Amino acid sequence: MSAAKLRRRAQRDTFGNSFGVLLALAGSAVGLGNLWRFPYLVGQNGGAAFIILYLIFVALLGIPLMLSEFIIGRRSRANARGAFRTLAPGTRWDLTGFIAVLCCTLILSFYSVVGGWGIEYFYKALRFDFTMGLTGDLSTLFSGFTASTWRPLVCHTLFMLATGLIVAYGVKNGIERFSKVMMPLLFIIMIGIAVRSLTLDGAGAGIDYLFRPDWSKVTSHTVLDALGQAFFSLSLGSGMVITYASYVKAEANITKICINTAVADTVFALIAGCAIMPAVFAFAISPGEGPGLVFITLPYIFSQLPLGGVIALLFFLALLLAALTSSISILEVVVAFAIEELKLKRKTAVWLCMSFIWLLGCLCSLSLGRFGSELSLFGRSLFDLFDAISANVLMPLNAMLVVIFLGWKMGRGVIADELTNNGANNPPAWYTKSLYIIIRWLAPAAILAIALFQWLG
Ligand code: PFF
């Protein structure tokens, strides 16, 4: 390797320690996917059966995939595209990295719009709009707000600026420091809300709904939704793990970090489920409300509870923090690409990427309102389209390419080297062997089968 290349690598930012890496990764994983997407998908897909499929996907595909991305990122020490260029020079595998960058661009554009809704609702909660005696229709309030032109745009802009500001500070001083403080706070708030919800009269029906499966509700859609949600929630197939892993020191135990991240994310999704569904059932509301669930149903519930105003405030604070620790990771994928591939300074890269994604986000937001018919394709608003394309197409596609790359192009030796930190630690042989089989055979076959099943069905 040339001296210049070595120097450039040495100058790359790194995470401070393994705990910081874990919190940053968990910060990325835990987000609107857990608090906004997971509850409404559970509601639309019939409850426990969806959750069980989701858990199977996390354990069987999610963790091996996260490890695969981790191996590629730490070994190459490069951004999502550079990683493939470094490990397989002269090939077109770098297209996989392009897909990841495109995917993150699309995700952040609609994610930031929802983050903006979080700002609006946090502001409403600060004014104690959701306290007892609330009058007016919350569904009309929500659809009126999201379909209006200016207010959601202002909130989206604020959310994007906050994201850009943290990323501009860099990996250790921005992303790691923010995640270290906010993640524990987030867990504490959500556990408090779940306890309140679980102790409501009539909460039992919600618990049944979450944990007693009704398999007759499962369709091919449910399966793909569960897979898409597992990828979305663990931030897989988006180049995020590759990018973060490229900042991780050589001695970190990657198996431990990946399993802990997946467990933290899953526990958090279940806590969110326990915070939301028991309350939904206690107030006899339909769980299949769709994307409006946390913005319509929950405020209604808060308005019926003693001290509901305070709970609303804490909930929307949690939502905002969770959204921010994820949005910074999505932006970092695009920014790292711009810094290393387009040779830009971090601050310039942040401004450029942020402005472009902000613009796309504005279109997403406007597609939900007055410009709905102009800003729609294939009968879907741009907002819905970006969500569906990223979670159900680009993420699984990218994830499949990642495991094929690692299992077939890199091979067993590279996987073993990284899992053992080049021989420094000694995981049991069955572990490395079965992981290799999952990465080489099972994961690509499963992703392909589910995708075909959905597209042909
Ligand atoms: N995992 C995040 C969530 O559940 O909200 C979303 C996400 C973050 C997707 C980072 C992709 C990504 F690269």
Sequential DSSP letters for 94-122: HHHHHHHHHHHHHHHHHHHHHHHHHHHHH
Look over the chain and give the mean of its residue pLDDT values, rounded to a whole number. Answer: 91
The reply to whether ligand 1 has any atom less than 6 angstroms from the CB of 197 is no
Mean pLDDT is lowest, of 116-120, 135-139, 361-365, 412-416, for: 135-139
The reply to whether ligand 1 has any atom less than 6 angstroms from the CB of 25 is no
Is 39 in contact with 272 (CB distance < 8 Å)? yes
32 C-alpha to ligand 1 centroid (Å): 8
Closest by alpha carbon to 155, among 184, 198, 118, 202? 118
Mean pLDDT is lowest, of 64-68, 71-75, 371-375, for: 371-375
Place of tokens 């556990």: 191
Both tokens of residue 400? 């499949």
353 C-alpha to ligand 1 centroid (Å): 17
102 C-alpha to ligand 1 centroid (Å): 14
The reply to whether ligand 1 has any atom less than 6 angstroms from the CB of 235 is yes
State yes or no: pLDDT of 457 exceeds 70.
Answer: no
Q: What is the pLDDT of residues 199-251, one digit of tens each?
A: 999 999 999 999 999 888 888 888 888 988 998 999 999 999 999 999 998 88
Is 452 in contact with 397 (CB distance < 8 Å)? no
- Pairing outcome for strands 380-381 and 376-377: antiparallel
Is 454 in contact with 223 (CB distance < 8 Å)? yes
Please give the pLDDT value at position 6: 47
146 C-alpha to ligand 1 centroid (Å): 22
Place of tokens 């659809």: 143
Is 246 in contact with 58 (CB distance < 8 Å)? no
**Ligand 1 pocket: which of 69, 326, 328, 394 to mutate (most atoms <8 Å of CB)?**
326
105-109, 279-283, 318-322: which has the highest mean pLDDT? 105-109
State yes or no: pLDDT of 328 exceeds 70.
Answer: yes
34 C-alpha to ligand 1 centroid (Å): 9
The reply to whether ligand 1 has any atom less than 6 angstroms from the CB of 31 is yes
The reply to whether ligand 1 has any atom less than 6 angstroms from the CB of 326 is yes
Closest by alpha carbon to 252, among 83, 12, 87, 19? 19
What is the C-alpha separation between 416 and 268, in angstroms, rounded?
A: 31
State yes or no: pLDDT of 19 exceeds 80.
Answer: yes
304 C-alpha to ligand 1 centroid (Å): 32
pTM of the model: 0.92
Sequential DSSP letters for 253-307: -HHHHHHHHHHHHHHHHHHHHHHHHHHHHHTT--TT-GGGIIIIIHHHHHHHSTT
Closest by alpha carbon to 322, among 215, 178, 177? 178
As a residue count, the chain comes to: 457
Burial group, residue 180, by CB count within 10 angstroms (0-12, 13-18, 19+): middle
Q: What is the pLDDT of residues 339-363, one digit of tens each?
A: 999 999 999 999 999 999 999 999 9
What is the C-alpha separation between 74 and 243, in angstroms, rounded?
A: 9
Please give the pLDDT value at position 410: 96
